[in-house]
Amino acid sequence: MNITPTEFDDLYIIKPTVFEDARGYFFESFHQKKFEDATGIECEFVQDNQSRSVYGVIRGLHMQVPPMAQAKLVRVLKGEVLDIAIDLRKDKSTFGKTFSIHLSSDNKEQLYIPRGFAHGIAVLSEEAEFFYKCDNYYSPENERGIMYNDASLNIDWKINPEKRIISEKDEKHLAFSNFSSPF
């Protein structure tokens, strides 16, 4: 397992070692001790979530605020997504900056997103199954969002606007400039 830091504090790309033969493949998708040794982050995951979406779906930009903030370990089980994380930690030099990565069932890469980030995905394949582990439970009262197409964030979702599929809820999130970060 290769754990690579990004330019954002505590945001890591995890690339598993994949063993393939005539039967198929095997890989260790997560190992607590290896993760802690490589990052210094102690994280206990308490909830797993999975979604299935079709091409053009954009989910986000979502977060949970304190006291129910969540760190996430995200990966794609089938298909390909553009994964977006926005740093909302006011004390970091990367505050308001966006990180993006292509995650797919082919590359098997994962992204560890610490607490204090907004998160979203865009489905780039015909269909995608997305899986993520959280270190805190979902709380509707603590759910917040930032508008996915906020001009100040300038996110290229890699999907033409006329092909985008957005939930009604995600169309109503705040602009980044109107979001008061609790992180």
Q: Give the whole-angstrom CA distance, residue 106 versus residue 103.
A: 8
What's the mean per-residue pLDDT of the chain?
97
**pTM, rounded to two decimals:** 0.96
**What 3-state class would DSSP assign to 36?**
helix
Residue 115 binned pLDDT confidence (cut-offs 50, 70, 90): very high
40 secondary structure, DSSP code: -
| Domains delineated in the chain | 2-178 (2.60.120.10)
pLDDT digits (tens, 9 = 90+) for 82-96: 999 999 999 999 999
Mean pLDDT of all residues in 132-157: 97
Q: Which residues of 120-138 are buried (b: 16+ CB within 10 A; e: fewer)?
A: bbbbbbeebbbbbbbbbee
Catalytic sites, residue numbers: 62, 132
Take residue 159 and report the two structure tokens written for it: 């999907």
Q: What is the pLDDT of residues 11-47, one digit of tens each?
A: 999 999 999 999 999 999 999 999 999 999 999 999 9
